[in-house]
């Protein structure tokens, strides 16, 4: 078995990793690079046999729907099979169809996605892949147990343990995976200072307190951070309104349709979309409104008393502080704003916990801007720091 990380060994995002045997070759993710520079143009991925005809590729697997993992899906040759979770496929399709800028080519490619099932192994050539649904800031995110040539490799994808489904990780590792030879892990947070990580339940409790303190609570969060939308919508007490736009409500319903049978957490919350009657009711009774940075919501927020309002910023702070960001001006629409966020990625302590559970001889970091710091989490293991496009025989 060979591993080649085409991009992502020394950066967060822009992910593409390859695993191959003598007869089979698969790729995991084809993502856009991330940057806070407003003039940044993502570099196209050029991978022989994947983006051109100079070689073969048996399949491309996507861990989840975030753009730094799927943004260059269209660069894959159309005859290469692609795989993702069923719910992730639905969300990707809705995103591509959104508004008046429907991406026809992307919609057609998404329709060809073959959906895998959590915990059910499948074969691509002589490589067996078992996908496991884990917690991340994107619903339907997966890590893969990859078995070939007598080796067991755990590819974590993006994950965390402090989300609403964080407790599934230990069960998967203990009952379904056990010891592996190699862990290829994300390391987004290893360059950040250690501090207590807030859970999604902590955020929900804080929103309940804000709803007691303020009549109007506005929340700015990523539209596809759906676990957060479910959690905060459930914080709204009976008699108050919970409002979001039509696109957000559509996404919430798709998740509920797929997952409500798995957990009552995903039962459809009572969500209203903005309209004259709904806004009048919100004016009278108050409640919570999910907003986005656009003129429609700017006009709506201005209708309500700023002294009775708070705007909660529930996204990564880098979006707010980047050059030319229009978020600070948006946050000033209410009398008060506050940060209400937690990372979509595992803390260093939780990275260490997962590695210890899987008990590999070799750890390979990726999706990190400080891969050398992984050694401090794995004192008694071999940490291999690869360069982009470097091949490693496992």
**CA gap 136, 142 in Å, rounded:** 9
pLDDT for residue 35:
82
Query: Closest Cα to residue 216, out of 332, 280, 309, 336?
Result: 309
Q: Tens digits of per-residue pLDDT, 325-372?
A: 999 999 999 989 999 999 999 999 999 999 999 999 999 999 999 999
Q: Do 313 and 176 belong to one domain?
A: no
pLDDT grade, residue 39 (50/70/90)? confident
Q: How far apart (Å, rounded) are the C-alpha atoms in residues 223 and 317?
A: 16
Q: CB-hemisphere CA count at 13 Å for 124?
A: 23
How high is the mean pLDDT of the chain?
95
Q: What is the pLDDT of residues 165-193, one digit of tens each?
A: 999 999 999 999 999 999 999 999 998 77
The model's pTM: 0.95
Find the distance separating the first CA and the last CA of the chain, reported in whole Å: 6
Strand order in the sheet with 216-221: 241-243, 287-291, 216-221, 309-314, 336-339
Query: Is 90 exceeded by the pLDDT of residue 40?
Result: no
Gap between the Cα atoms of 109 and 25, Å rounded: 20
Please give the pLDDT value at position 209.
98
Residue 207 belongs to domain with CATH number: 3.40.50
* Residue 53 pLDDT exceeds 90: yes
Do residue 170 and residue 275 come from a single domain?
no
Q: What percent of the chain has pLDDT over 90?
A: 92
Same domain for 354 and 315: no
Whether 324 and 226 map to the same domain: the answer is: yes
- Burial class of residue 62 (count of CB atoms within 10 Å of its CB; 0-12, 13-18, 19+): buried
The range of the structural domain enclosing residue 98 comes to 2-192+344-393
- Last residue within a domain, chosen from 300, 323, 339: 339
Residue 100 pLDDT > 70 = no
- Cα–Cα distance for residue pair 39/62, rounded to 1 Å: 27
pLDDT bracket for residue 101 (50, 70, 90)? low
Q: Strands 59-61 and 309-314: what pairing?
A: unpaired
CATH number of the domain to which 34 belongs:
3.60.15.10
pLDDT surpassing 90 at residue 99? no
Domain count across the chain: 2
Residue 37 has pLDDT above 80, yes or no: no
Q: CB atoms < 10 A from the CB of 358, how many?
A: 21
Under a CB-based contact definition with an 8 Å cutoff, are residues 62 and 35 in contact?
no
Sole residue written with tokens 């459809």: 268
Q: What is the pLDDT, as a whole number, of residue 23?
A: 97
Is pLDDT of 38 > 80? no
| Residues 181, 117 share a domain | yes
pLDDT at 337: 97
pLDDT beyond 80 at 195: no
pLDDT at 114: 98
Confidence of residue 20 (pLDDT cuts 50, 70, 90): very high
126 and 188 together in one domain: yes
Task: Tell me, yes or no, whether 313 and 370 share the same domain.
Answer: no
Q: Are 321 and 389 contained in the same domain?
A: no
Contact present, 200 and 162 (Cβ < 8 Å):
yes
Average pLDDT over residues 280-295: 96
The sign of the CA dihedral 173, 176, 178, 181 is negative
% of residues, the chain, pLDDT over 70: 98
Helices (H), the chain: 67-70, 86-97, 104-111, 168-172, 200-213, 226-233, 246-259, 276-285, 295-301, 317-321, 327-331, 348-358
Predicted local distance difference test score (pLDDT) of residue 194: 66
- Pair type for strands 114-116 and 122-124: unpaired
Res 77 pLDDT > 70: yes
Q: What is the side-by-side order of every strand in the sheet holding 362-366? A: 122-124, 127-134, 141-148, 151-155, 182-186, 362-366, 382-383
- The pLDDT, as a whole number, for residue 82 is 98
Of 44-58, 91-105, 140-154, 353-367, least confident by mean pLDDT is 91-105
Confidence (pLDDT) at 192: 78
For the segment 219-225, the average pLDDT, to the nearest whole number, is 95
Of 55, 39, 65, which is closest to residue 6 (Cα–Cα)?
A: 55
Q: 39 and 171 share a domain?
A: yes
Same domain, 180 and 243: no
**Do residues 88 and 67 both lie within one domain?**
yes
**38 backbone dihedrals φ, ψ, rounded to 5°:** -65, -20
pLDDT tens digits for range 229-260: 999 999 999 999 999 999 999 999 999 999 99
Give dist(CA 221, CA 312) in Å, integer. Answer: 8
In a shared domain, residues 230 and 304: yes
């Amino acid at each position: 078995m060979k591993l080649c990380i085409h991009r992502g060994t020394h950066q967060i995002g822009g992910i593409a990793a390859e695993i191959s045997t003598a007869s089979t070759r698969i790729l995991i993710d084809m993502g856009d690079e991330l940057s806070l520079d407003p003039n940044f143009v993502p570099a196209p991925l050029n991978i022989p046999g994947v983006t051109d005809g100079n070689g073969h590729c048996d399949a491309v697997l996507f861990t989840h729907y975030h753009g730094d993992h799927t943004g260059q899906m269209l660069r894959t040759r159309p005859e290469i099979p692609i795989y993702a979770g069923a719910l992730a496929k639905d969300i990707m399709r809705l995103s591509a169809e959104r508004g008046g800028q429907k991406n026809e080519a992307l919609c057609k490619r998404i329709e060809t996605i073959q959906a895998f099932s959590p915990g059910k192994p499948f074969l691509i050539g002589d490589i067996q892949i078992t996908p496991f649904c884990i917690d991340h800031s994107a619903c339907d995110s997966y890590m893969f147990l990859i078995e070939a040539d007598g080796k067991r490799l755990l590819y974590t994808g993006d994950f965390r343990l402090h989300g609403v489904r964080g407790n599934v990780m230990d069960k998967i590792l203990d009952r379904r995976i056990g010891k592996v030879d190699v862990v290829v892990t994300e390391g987004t947070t290893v360059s950040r200072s250690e501090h207590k990580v807030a859970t999604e339940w902590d955020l929900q409790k804080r929103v309940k307190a804000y709803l007691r303190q303020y009549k109007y609570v506005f929340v700015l969060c990523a539209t596809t951070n759906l676990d957060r939308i479910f959690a905060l919508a459930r914080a709204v007490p009976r008699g108050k309104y919970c409002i979001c736009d039509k696109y957000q409500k559509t996404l919430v319903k798709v998740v509920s349709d797929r997952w409500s049978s798995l957990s009552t957490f995903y039962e459809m919350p009572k969500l209203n979309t903005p309209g004259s009657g709904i806004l009048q009711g919100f004016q009278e009774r108050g409640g919570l409104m999910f907003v986005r940075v656009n003129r429609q919501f700017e006009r709506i927020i201005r209708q309500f008393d700023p002294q009775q309002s708070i705007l909660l910023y529930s996204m990564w702070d880098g979006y707010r502080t980047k050059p030319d960001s229009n978020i600070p001006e948006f946050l000033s629409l209410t009398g008060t704003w506050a940060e209400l966020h937690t990372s979509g990625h595992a803390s260093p302590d939780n990275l260490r916990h997962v590695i210890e559970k899987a008990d590999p001889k070799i750890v390979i970091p990726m999706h990190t801007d400080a891969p050398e710091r992984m050694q401090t989490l794995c004192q008694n293991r071999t940490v291999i720091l690869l360069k982009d496009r470097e091949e490693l025989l496992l």
